[in-house]
Structure 1
Amino acid sequence: MLSRLARCVSNAGVCRAARQVVKGHGKHRLPAVPPPAAIASPRGHQTLATAAAASLPTVGAPPGVRHARTLDRERLLQLEWEDGTCSLYPFTWLRDNCQCPHCTLQSAQARSLLLADLDVHTGVDRVQLTENNKVTITWPDQHSSEFDPEWLKKRCFSPEARQARQEELFLNEREYWDSSLRIPTASFEEVLHDDKAALAWLLALRRIGIVYLKGAPVEQGQVARLSERIGYLRLTFYGHTWQVEDKPMANNVAYTSGKLSLHTDYPALHYPPGVQFLHCLAQAREGGESEVVDGFHMAEVLRRNDPEAFRTLSSLRIDFTDTGTDYCDFCVQSKNHIINMDNEGRVVRINYNNATRDSVLDMPLDKVQPFYSSLKAYVELMTQPENVVTYKMEPGDLVTFDNWRLLHGRKSYMSDATCRRHLEGAYLDWDEVMSRLRILRRAVHGEN
C-alpha cells in the first residue's frame, strides 16, 4: 500500500499558482517534476525510502568561509564562501543571535538575551576566522560570539536563501489536482509503527492535501490512536472525537442522511482545525460516497478567470455561526474571508460552509450582489465534475486531509436499522502536524 503513497510523495513539485485547468482524460498522472502551475496526479513507481527522500530539500556538505570582513558604514558583516558567493549579515542581528551560554539557553534553544540589553546600533570590534572555520566576533563591550558557518549559511538574507529556508521549514509548495487524482494510499499499521512510512504520509498530506489509510481496526478509537502518532487531538465543541451518524434532532447537518455540499469544517471558528481524520466503521448500503475538491487550485483558477470575484472573496469578511449543545453548549461566531491569503498573495486557507454561513451579512449594501455573484462563481467552479474526486469509504478505511485546503462533501444515502452509516472523526491543528513532520524528518534523515 505504501508504494502509491511513495509515488505521490516522490513526485512533489513546485506549484505556486495554477495557471491552467487540466481536465481528466482516463488515467491522468502526475509528472515526475511538474513545472510551475502543473496539476498533480500520480505517475511512476518508486520505493517509499526513495520517494520520501526525493520530496525533501537536498542537504549538502557544510560550506566553508573563505574570507570575512566588516562593512562598518553599512554595519554589515560580509562573508565570502568557498564557492565564490557572498552573504551579508547585519551587526544587530548577529549580536541578537549570539549562541553563547550567556545569551542562549542551550537546553531550550531559546534566547536569554533581553531586548532591553541589546544595543540595536552596535558596531563590531573585530572579526576572526578560527582554525575550525568558525566565525568569531568581538563586540565593543568585549563580549565574544562564535557562529558555525552552516548555521549562518542557512540564515543568509538573500531572497533565494530566505525562500529556500521557508520552504524547508513550512513546505508551502503544493501540488494541485483535479478529478483525475488517484488518492495516495498507505497502510494504517505501517504509519503507526514505521517512521519512514509516517514521514511519507505527512509529506503527502502537506503537499497533496489528502492521504488514504487502509486496514484500520473496525472499532472506535482509531482516530485517537493515529493522533498519538502526531501529538494530540484538537478539542472542539463536538468533543475530542465525534460520531458522524444519522441522528434524530441532529445538531449538525453532517448528522443527517442528506447530501452535504462541498465545504470546509468549522469556519465558524476564527482558527478552524487544520487537519481532519475520518474513519469508516460502517457504510450505507446505498449512497454515501465522499467527494473532495482542491480549494487552493480552484481559487487560483478563479483568480485567473474572474479576478474581480477573487478580489471580492479574498477581501470581504463573512459571518459564520454555530449554535447548539454537544460536548458542551456553544454559541460561536466568526468573521472570515472565503479565501485567505498571506502577505505574498499566496492562498493559505479556504473558509466556506454553506450550512453555517450566517444570515448576518456585514457589508455595505452595494457589495451584497457582487458577493453573491462571486461566491456562486467559485462554487460552480469547484462543483464541475472534472474538478471533483469521488470515492466510497469501506469499513477500516481512514482518510486524512487538509481542512484548510480541501472542500469535502458527501452524497445522500439510505439509512436503515441493519446497516447504519457510521464514521468517527477528529481534528488536529497544522502546528502539531508540522512539528511531528520536522521531528520525523530529523529522525529519518538526521537533519538539524
Structure 2
Amino acid sequence: MFSSLARCSSRAALHMLKEAVCPSKLGKVPSFGHQTLAAIPAHTVGRNAIRHAQMLEQKRLLQVEWDDGSCSFYPFTWLRDNCHCPLCMLQSAQARSLLLADLNVHTGMNQVQITDNNKVSITWPDEHSSEFEPDWLKKRCFSPEARQARQEELFLNKREFWDSALQIPMADFEEVLNDDNAALAWLMALRRVGIVYLKGAPAEQGQLARLGRRIGYLRLTFYGHTWQVQDKPMANNVAYTSGKLSLHTDYPALHHPPGVQFLHCLQQAEQGGESEVVDGFHMAELLRKEDPEAFNTLSSLYIDYTDTGSDYCDFSVQSKNRIIDVDSEGRVMRVNYNNATRDSVLDLPIDQVQLFYSSLKSFVKLMNRPENMVTYRMEPGDLVTFDNWRLLHGRRHYASGGRTLRHLEGAYLDWDEVMSRLRILRKAVHRDR
C-alpha cells in the first residue's frame, strides 16, 4: 500500500491528508419550540446581527431575533451566570469568578436593550449590568441544531469509518513540525480517520519527543515517556517479543488508557513484522448490527485487566473496563481490548461467563475478517500516529536476529492534549474566535 504513497511529494501528501478530513454535512435535527436557528458553522463568526431582543418574563427567557429571521432563547439564570464583566469574570483567564453561592438562580430581569454596537445589554434587579456580543450568543444558542454544531466544532465527534480499502492519510514529518497548516491537517485526519502516516523522520531515537512537543507533552506511563519495541530477553510485555501480536488496544489495564499512540520505525526485520490495523468503532457498529446480544454484552459488562512488572518503575496495575465503551446515547466512545493483559480474574456471575466468551469471540472474528483489516510495512524513518481508543493494532511474526534487529520507538499522548493543540492550531490557521 505504501510503496506508491512513499513516492508522493510532501505537497501531494498534504493534499491527500486534507482530502481525508473534509467534514461531512450535519444530519437534519428537529427544531425545538420556536427556535429556528440552524447549525452555526465556525466561519459565520463576525457576521451576526441582532434585529430585536425582548424579555419573556413568564418563561424567564430572553428572546433574540436575528437579522436572518431566526430566533434564539436564553434562560435568565444562564445569562446572569455568564456575565462577562470584571466583577464576574477573571478576564486574564477567561474564567468565571462569580460564585455560585452568590448567584440568584431565580433571578428576573429589569431591562434589556440593544446597544449602538449591536450588543445585548441587560440590567438585573440588583442593578448589576451585563453585555453580550452577538457572535458569542449565537454560537451558544440552545436549539438542537446549534448545540450539535457547537459540540461538533469543539470535539469533532464525527468519524469516517473504513475497511481494508483505506488509503491511510499521509503527511511529511518536518512539515508537521514546522507548518501550522500541515499540523492542523494531520490532527484533523487523526481525529476523523483515526490513523495518519508520517514520512521522512530521521531513523534515530528522539523524534517522538520532537513530535510530542509539537502538541504539548508525552504521557508518562510505567514504560516511560517513550519505550523501545524490540525482541528482549525476559520481556515484560508481549510486544517485546518477535511473536505475532493479535489485534488490541494498548493499556486497558489503566482506567484511563492513553488516547493516542505514536510508533516510529528505526529498524525493520528482514522478514515479517508487518503491521495490521482495524477500525474498532466500525467493528463495534458492525457487531451491533450483526449480533446485538454480543454488542450489548461487551458494552455492559466490566472486565478485569492486569499488568505487572518493572520498567520505568515497578508496577502492579488493575482495572475494570467495558470492552466497548458507549456514552449515554449509545455512541461508541472507546474500545478496551488486549487479550494479553485480560486478567484471569473474571468478576462476573457464573451464568454470564459463557455469554461473555461467545460475545468476545464474535467481536474478534469481525476484526480478523480480511475485508476489515489494513496491512502495511513500516520502513526506517516511517512514523505512524493513531487513535488508541479507536484502532486495534497488531503485528505479524518476524524473524529475530539476522543483520538487522527490528526496533520501533513508541510513545503515548492523551486526547485532551491533542484536542487542545488542534483547537489552538485551528484558531491560528482560520482566525476562529
Aligned residue for 2:232? 247
SS at match of 1:200: helix
**1:7: Cα distance to partner?**
3.0
Aligned residue for 1:199? 184
After the TM superposition, which residues 391-430 of structure 1 pair with which residues of structure 2 at under 5 Å, given as runs? Answer: 391-430=376-415
1:276–1:400 CA contact under 8 A, matched in 2? yes
CA spacing shift, 1:299–1:383, aligned 2, 3 Å:
same
| Alpha-carbon distance in structure 2 between the residues aligned to 1:97 and 1:302 | 43
Aligned residue for 2:365? 380
Aligned residue for 1:361? 346
| Alpha-carbon distance in structure 1 between the residues aligned to 2:130 and 2:122 | 5
**1:61: Cα distance to partner?**
4.2
Q: Does 1:172 align with 2:157?
A: yes
CA spacing shift, 1:225–1:11, aligned 2, 3 Å:
closer
2:17–2:170 CA contact under 8 A, matched in 1? no
Identity %: 74
| Alpha-carbon distance in structure 2 between the residues aligned to 1:348 and 1:73 | 40
| Alpha-carbon distance in structure 1 between the residues aligned to 2:169 and 2:82 | 42
| Alpha-carbon distance in structure 2 between the residues aligned to 1:12 and 1:297 | 17
Aligned residue for 1:3? 12
Aligned residue for 1:214? 199
Aligned residue for 2:80? 95
**1:344: Cα distance to partner?**
1.8
| Alpha-carbon distance in structure 1 between the residues aligned to 2:221 and 2:203 | 24
CA-based RMSD of the aligned residues comes to 1.4
Q: Which runs of 5+ in 2 are unaligned?
A: 1-9, 28-40
Offset from partner CA, 1:161-182 (integer Å, 9 cap, x none): 0000000000000000000101
| Alpha-carbon distance in structure 1 between the residues aligned to 2:376 and 2:367 | 16
SS at match of 2:152: helix
Aligned residue for 1:106? 91
SS at match of 2:358: helix
2:273–2:377 CA contact under 8 A, matched in 1? yes
Q: Does 1:351 align with 2:360?
A: no
1:333 to 308, 318, 339: 318
Matched AA of 2:310? T
CA spacing shift, 1:57–1:302, aligned 2, 3 Å:
farther
| Alpha-carbon distance in structure 2 between the residues aligned to 1:228 and 1:66 | 46
Aligned residue for 1:270? 255
Matched AA of 2:386? F
Normalising by structure 2, report the TM-score.
0.93
CA spacing shift, 1:257–1:312, aligned 2, 3 Å:
same
SS at match of 1:262: strand
Offset from partner CA, 1:242-274 (integer Å, 9 cap, x none): 000000000000000000000000000000000
1:62–1:149 CA contact under 8 A, matched in 2? no
| Alpha-carbon distance in structure 1 between the residues aligned to 2:385 and 2:54 | 51
**1:366: Cα distance to partner?**
1.1
**1:11: Cα distance to partner?**
4.5
Aligned residue for 2:61? 76
SS at match of 1:311: helix
After the TM superposition, which residues 130-149 of structure 1 pair with which residues of structure 2 at under 5 Å, given as runs? Answer: 130-149=115-134
| Alpha-carbon distance in structure 2 between the residues aligned to 1:400 and 1:142 | 54
SS at match of 1:396: coil
Aligned residue for 1:298? 283
1:13–1:174 CA contact under 8 A, matched in 2? no
SS at match of 1:237: coil
CA spacing shift, 1:201–1:282, aligned 2, 3 Å:
same
Q: Does 1:12 align with 2:21?
A: yes
SS at match of 2:44: coil
Deviates more, 1:158-167 or 1:57-66: 57-66
Normalising by structure 1, report the TM-score.
0.90
2:140 to 155, 161, 184: 155
SS at match of 2:215: coil
Matched AA of 1:140? P
| Alpha-carbon distance in structure 2 between the residues aligned to 1:11 and 1:228 | 24
1:176–1:294 CA contact under 8 A, matched in 2? yes
| Alpha-carbon distance in structure 1 between the residues aligned to 2:104 and 2:74 | 16
Matched AA of 1:288? G
Offset from partner CA, 1:353-386 (integer Å, 9 cap, x none): 0000000111111111111011000000011001
| Alpha-carbon distance in structure 1 between the residues aligned to 2:302 and 2:408 | 32
| Alpha-carbon distance in structure 2 between the residues aligned to 1:300 and 1:311 | 11
| Alpha-carbon distance in structure 2 between the residues aligned to 1:247 and 1:121 | 66
| Alpha-carbon distance in structure 2 between the residues aligned to 1:122 and 1:57 | 32
Matched AA of 1:445? H
SS at match of 1:315: coil
2:13–2:172 CA contact under 8 A, matched in 1? no
Matched AA of 2:21? A
Aligned residue for 1:443? 428
SS at match of 1:287: coil
**1:4: Cα distance to partner?**
3.6
After the TM superposition, which residues 24-63 of structure 1 pair with which residues of structure 2 at under 5 Å, given as runs? Answer: 57-59=42-44, 61-63=46-48
CA spacing shift, 1:34–1:12, aligned 2, 3 Å:
farther
Q: Which runs of 5+ in 1 are unaligned?
A: 15-32, 37-55
2:112–2:120 CA contact under 8 A, matched in 1? yes
Aligned residue for 1:45? none
CA spacing shift, 1:211–1:161, aligned 2, 3 Å:
same
2:17–2:186 CA contact under 8 A, matched in 1? no
